[in-house]
Structure 1
């Protein structure tokens, strides 16, 4: 928790004055400093977030799925200020989901009737909407209450890089057959394997995942002019040339890369510039270069976990071996064990059951890795 110097000084003076008294008289223990209302301007002064956001002062803008904002309020109600007609959100108070907002638009959504005390509040973006920019305007307190200083950041950070399987695409669905509307309503990044794994390890996280994109080839060969790598550097996915500027607080100890399903899951179409061998070679080359980029970005202490599954598992193994042979000892291979998965999410994606099972296995693996930070 970050506390303004003036508040610290006031708390210290209060403690000192309350301790003054006649010699030999027992003194009551000084009261602990109380949470102070936020007086600084700007959304990021009142909330904790680990996501890729662009700071616009009174608002923040973002695009990636699973971006979350955490705050604290005192009083009987909290308002959530949003401008988003594309994505869905969950609002959680004291660890319980109290509202799901479906494409809320420009609004202040109120949660009222709370106990008159201090509450934690969390807003999380459930699905991916890369064609749009989302805007959050912060939390506001009900009359008589106050927005308090933001929660402290967690000491551990994990970044998840992937496609729709990492987004949590359709993971709440009860059917594999889904319309686009059903996919949107039944996607919940907050219960994806990445979000679950991070929470089990007590970590802040980013879900930098984009449905349908691959390392060099997208699903069924679509949109051949772009790949996942086109968008990785961005905060705002629908703004060409946008570059997220790390505020210096994002230094993940672990980065998990799960890309390859879209490259290999569909047969090559006539007119695509690949043969099976040339696609595999291009994938391995691009994957190796992407790992080098991550190493340059985050430094030698970050452990990079490359996930292998299905048709691309062997290619990922080769890439990891090449990095190890080049002296990079902090790139690890993890084979995603799909035993027990039902793939009951929309269009044969992971279900919420599958996400939990994968999180169990990945948590165990990541928990055993050495981390220097």
Structure 2
């Protein structure tokens, strides 16, 4: 039997939390918990016994709870609680908690796993050798992918966004890879959707662990060295017409995008080294081909300058129904995109 609970379990110090939980996500160690903001952050643990508690403080997001590879619960804005899964067969089990939703305005906190009476939390599962980082916007987040309807209220959008079913998460799990989903809906490389919030863009937030904290910088613990980075930025730059009063013309937008993308690729190359393969991704837009053409040109320019570990990948709209919120890819579409990305990854000279 699976039972929720809100008992006040003893919380280990944050250093102890991470000794018993594996994550590849961007987290920040706090006093008695770890904090995080990006979608798709997950925590995995091992325990012996018939039950496990999950210590959380999050009134904004939804989570999946998995035990031994099966989803046993979905937590909707659980708040400050210890959620219990009880009634399991005695023995050693594996538990996984994954943040489904996107809430860049909020900071979430995980206080660790606790064992049911008579049981024990074991040492954390080992990190996977394969690592993939996904960088992007709402398509990468899994924005409204569970909706089944293009018309969504804000609450419906939040409840039906599932980063755990995004093409990145699906691709990584098929490859048995640890992954990060560092994606932020509505933001572009230099221009955001419909020209909104021109004082920021995706690059404003990329370095952060806590998105709502100005100036925050994620400290890589030294264990995050992805062999593959997939970047998909440009949908928001080019999918809407330039509005009166914006700083851009079509030509200056293209020029700024090209310059910023090259600088961002320089940053990734310096950050992860020459052996990491970087995929520049583009997809179909109904109003323009500039985005895809420009992304391909940028990759060609990198290749011409001697960096052959930067590759271009385009996926078309063939077979996609865009039945997610606001014409975004549905869960069905994310499966298709993941299949296509997996086929493309198989052609890359990855040493993993």
- TM-score in terms of structure 2 length: 0.93
After TM superposition, list the pairs within 5 Å mapping 1:1-373 onto structure 2: 42-56=16-30, 58-310=32-284, 311=289, 312-372=291-351
- The alignment's C-alpha RMSD in Å is 1.4
Work out which of the two has the higher radius of gyration on C-alpha atoms and give 1 or 2.
1
Q: Please say if residues 42 and 57 of structure 1, whose CA atoms lie closer than 8 Å, have aligned partners that are also in contact.
A: no
* Cα shift at 1:267: 1.0
Change over 3 Å in CA distance of 1:81–1:166 after alignment to 2:
same
Cα distance in 2 between the residues matched to 1:40 and 1:81: 12
* Cα shift at 1:322: 1.1
Q: Please say if residues 14 and 34 of structure 2, whose CA atoms lie closer than 8 Å, have aligned partners that are also in contact.
A: no
Q: Please say if residues 93 and 122 of structure 1, whose CA atoms lie closer than 8 Å, have aligned partners that are also in contact.
A: yes
Cα distance in 1 between the residues matched to 2:43 and 2:13: 18
* Cα shift at 1:58: 2.6
* Cα shift at 1:236: 0.3
Q: Deviations over 1:48-104 (max 9, x none)?
A: 100000112531000000000000111111111000111110100111111111111
Cα distance in 2 between the residues matched to 1:57 and 1:100: 27
* Cα shift at 1:175: 0.6
SS in 1 for 2:345: helix
User: Which blocks of at least 5 consecutive residues in structure 1 are unaligned?
Assistant: 1-37
* Cα shift at 1:372: 3.6
SS in 2 for 1:108: strand
Cα distance in 2 between the residues matched to 1:71 and 1:309: 36
Q: Please say if residues 134 and 229 of structure 2, whose CA atoms lie closer than 8 Å, have aligned partners that are also in contact.
A: yes
Cα distance in 1 between the residues matched to 2:137 and 2:173: 20
SS in 2 for 1:114: coil
Q: Deviations over 1:269-325 (max 9, x none)?
A: 110011111111111111111111100000000000001223310010111111111
* Cα shift at 1:39: 12
Q: Which residue of 1 aligns with 2:5?
A: none
Cα distance in 2 between the residues matched to 1:79 and 1:367: 39
SS in 2 for 1:364: helix
Cα distance in 2 between the residues matched to 1:75 and 1:40: 23
Q: Deviations over 1:349-371 (max 9, x none)?
A: 01000000000010111122112
Cα distance in 1 between the residues matched to 2:108 and 2:216: 15
Cα distance in 2 between the residues matched to 1:361 and 1:305: 13
Q: Deviations over 1:180-222 (max 9, x none)?
A: 0000100110010000000111100000000100000001100
Q: Which runs of 4+ in 1 moved over 6 A?
A: none
Q: Deviations over 1:206-248 (max 9, x none)?
A: 0000010000000110000000000000000000000001000
> Alignment length, in residue pairs?
336
User: Which blocks of at least 5 consecutive residues in structure 2 are unaligned?
Assistant: 1-11
Q: Please say if residues 189 and 261 of structure 2, whose CA atoms lie closer than 8 Å, have aligned partners that are also in contact.
A: yes
